[in-house]
Amino acid sequence: MTGRELRELHGIEELDHVAQLFAGIWGTDVERAPISAEVMRALAHAGNYVAGAYEDGRLVGGSVAFFGEPVGTSLHSHITGATIGRGIGLALKLHQRHWALARGIKRITWTYDPLIRRNAYFNLVKLGARPEEYLTSFYGAMDDAINGGDESDRVLAAWDLTAPAAPCAVPDATDALELPNGAVHGVRNRDGRPEVGPVDAGTVLIDLPDDIEALRRTDPDAARAWRLAVRRTLGQLLAGGARVTGFHDRRSYVVHRIANPVH
């Protein structure tokens, strides 16, 4: 896009602007921004990834990542925030991917709230990342505008940078995904509330609410029910070795269970 620039950031003044942007996105005072300018300054100085996206000179997105385990091959993306609906988040992730590959990094991980449909779609479909681990109340109590009133459950997503298909290169066929015979709904969206079902099939679908962030404000009991249903179902499946293989119809995790070994 004309007028768009993505670049690494190092100066305290530009990092102050990133902290202010994040505070606006997460609905906090700048003093309680998800990450401070001082921490970003230290991470950047130590050689980690701190970048901003600009449109016509105006900051519209930022991303922070640091090296993780295994040492020398993995990057953990701690936070990415951008103006919604402008392709900035995707541009930042591709910039981060290019930065990582240039340094021999083969894998990028990050956490996200498994109940937020747009994030699940973005991570699994647009980028091709895959959830690997369910993390219960990972950040403890949070009081920002996005997470307030709910527990901070997260899934750890992993992005394999060695995969042959480049991000976004494959047309989105997820909406037309043909599910195998015998697939069951481990969690079904039934009139806005979760209905927990069986998980004893080879393929298990886990529906998500239409808008968990709005539900936290309008119906906290329903939001809590969704949190517990997905925690129980997706969490237990991942802990048992199941793999998330896709995201169906922009609303359902597709989970493949590993067959029990024959003794």
Structural domain includes residue 154: yes
Are residue 41 and residue 112 in the same domain, yes or no?
yes
Are residue 179 and residue 76 in the same domain, yes or no?
no
Average pLDDT on 18-40 reads 93
Question: Domain boundary residue among 160, 195, 224?
Answer: 160
Q: Can you tell me the distance from the alpha carbon of 147 to that of 144, in angstroms, rounded to the nearest whole number?
A: 6
Mean pLDDT estimate for the chain: 90
Task: Give residue 236's domain range.
Answer: 174-256
Average pLDDT on 122-142 reads 90
Average pLDDT on 59-81 reads 95
- What letter does residue 147 receive in the DSSP assignment? T
Are residue 138 and residue 209 in the same domain, yes or no?
no
Structural domain includes residue 100: yes
Q: Please give the residue that has the higher pLDDT: either 248 or 142.
A: 248
Helical ranges in 106-211 per DSSP H: 117-121
Banded model confidence at residue 119, pLDDT cuts 50, 70, 90? very high
Structural domain includes residue 124: yes
> Does the pLDDT value for residue 244 go beyond 70?
yes
Domain count, the chain: 2
Structural domain includes residue 262: no
Average pLDDT on 58-67 reads 97
Are residue 38 and residue 142 in the same domain, yes or no?
yes
- Confirm whether pTM is higher than 0.75: yes
Are residue 82 and residue 156 in the same domain, yes or no?
yes
Which residues does residue 200 pair with via DSSP β-bridges, in sequence order?
Answer: none
Are residue 149 and residue 35 in the same domain, yes or no?
yes
Model pLDDT, residue 136: 95
Are residue 46 and residue 78 in the same domain, yes or no?
yes
Are residue 147 and residue 207 in the same domain, yes or no?
no
Banded model confidence at residue 258, pLDDT cuts 50, 70, 90? confident
Structural domain includes residue 165: no
Question: Domain boundary residue among 136, 160, 184?
Answer: 160
Model pLDDT, residue 111: 97
Model pLDDT, residue 74: 97
Are residue 108 and residue 218 in the same domain, yes or no?
no
Structural domain includes residue 169: no
Give pLDDT tens digits for 184-196: 999 999 999 999 9
Average pLDDT on 109-121 reads 96
> Does the pLDDT value for residue 181 go beyond 50?
yes
Are residue 90 and residue 197 in the same domain, yes or no?
no
Structural domain includes residue 193: yes
Banded model confidence at residue 171, pLDDT cuts 50, 70, 90? very low
Are residue 145 and residue 187 in the same domain, yes or no?
no
Banded model confidence at residue 263, pLDDT cuts 50, 70, 90? very low
Model pLDDT, residue 28: 86
Model pLDDT, residue 96: 97
Model pLDDT, residue 169: 45
Query: Which CATH number belongs to the domain containing residue 28 in this structure?
Result: 3.40.630.30
Q: Which residue has the tokens 């401070």?
A: 36
Contacts 24+ apart (CB under 8 A), 235-244: 235/134, 235/136, 236/199, 237/186, 237/199, 237/204, 238/131, 238/132, 238/133, 238/134, 238/155, 239/134, 242/204, 243/130, 244/124, 244/130, 244/131
Average pLDDT on 67-74 reads 92
Are residue 8 and residue 104 in the same domain, yes or no?
yes
Structural domain includes residue 261: no
